[in-house]
Amino acid sequence: MTGSSVAEQGGKIAAIQMVSSKDVAGNLDQAARLIASAAAQGARVAVLPENFALIESGQIRELAEEELRDRRLSAWLAAQAREHGIWLVAGSSPALLRPDGSRIDDGRVRSRLLVVDQEGKIVASYDKRHLFDVDVGDALSSYRESERFEPGGDEVVVVDSPVGCLGLSICYDLRFPGHYQRLRDLGADILLVPAAFTRVTGEAHWEVLLRARAIETQCYCLGAGQGGVHSPKRQTWGHSMIVDPWGEVLGCKDQGEGVVVAEVDLGKIKRLRAEMPVWQHRRDRWL
C-alpha cells in the first residue's frame, strides 16, 4: 500500500480510551458509546485501544475461536463503521489464523489490528511484531505475552485513509524506533499506537516515546490506550494523546474512558519536512 499525497486535506482523528474488562458484551457497549462520540465530534478515523474487546488474557483463545466461527468482532466493527460513516482502527483482537490462512495450533493466537473503512470493509490488518515479555514493579509483576501470543512477521503495514496514510503498530512496538522509520519510508503521515501500557511503564515512558516517534519521523502520532483499573492486579496508564509532527501534544485523556480528537494538517507535515529534511540527511538507510 502506498502513502497518501500531502496535497490531500487531512481531517479529524480520534483516540478512544477504554477501561476494558473480561465482559466482552460490556466492552463492546462501552466502545460503541465512544465511537458515537468520536463521530459526533467530526472524526473521520477513530482508533480503539489494544485489547478493546477483552483484556482478560485467559479467555483470549476462546474469543479467537468464536471470531473464526461467528465473526462476532469483525461484524460488529463493520456495523459500527457503517452506522457512523467512519473509519475504525480496532487496536487489537485475537486471531486464530495467520495471514496466509494457516492455523495456530499451539494454543496461542496472533494479536491483530484491523482497519475498517466507512462501508464496513476490512482494508488492512497488522499482527503485533514485538511481544511484551518483561518484569514490571507492579501488582502483576511479570508479563509474558509470548506464552499466549505468536509474534507477527517482519512486515510493517501502511494504509491510505481519508485523513492521510496510516502507519500501523501495537503497544510494545513503540519502544522500537526502526519500526516507525520503516513506516515513514513507506509514506506514513500518521503513526497509530493502540496500547495497554502498564501504569508503571506508562508513567515513566509513554508520553516521551510517543513524542519521540512523532519528532523522529515528522509524523502525527496517535496513542489510544487502556486507562484504568481492570482487576486487583491490573492497572493501565491511559493518557491517550495525539501528538503533532513537531512533538506538541494536541490533546490528552488521563484516566477513564473518553475520546481525544484533533485535526491532522497534511500541509504542516509537508512544510516541516521541507524546512527540516532529516530524511535526506540520514546516514543509516541500510538498517
As given in the structure block, the three cell numbers for residue 223 are 496513542
Query: Exactly one of 128, 150, 221, 257 is catalytic; which is it?
Result: 128
Active site residue 171: yes
Residue 14 pairs in a beta bridge with: 46, 261
Nearest CA-CA partner of 169 in 178, 179, 154 = 179
Residue 165 pairs in a beta bridge with: 160
Q: How far apart are CA 206 and CA 272, in angstroms?
A: 24
Amino acid at the residue 224: A
The three-state DSSP-derived secondary structure of 142-211 is EEEHHHCECCCCCCCCEEEECCEEEECCCHHHHHCHHHHHHHHHCCCCEEEEEECCEHHHHHHHHHHHHH
Q: How far apart are CA 146 and CA 30, in angstroms?
A: 28
Active site residue 121: no
Q: How far apart are CA 227 and CA 237, in angstroms?
A: 5
Secondary structure class of 137 (helix, strand, coil)? coil
User: Cα–Cα distances in Å, from 243 out to 52, 85, 95, 162, 252?
Assistant: 22, 25, 30, 19, 9
Q: How far apart are CA 287 and CA 285, in angstroms?
A: 5
Active site residue 128: yes
Query: Exactly one of 12, 145, 150, 171 is catalytic; which is it?
Result: 171
CB 165 within 8 A of CB 49: no
Query: Exactly one of 50, 67, 145, 257 is catalytic; which is it?
Result: 50
Catalytic residues: 50, 128, 171
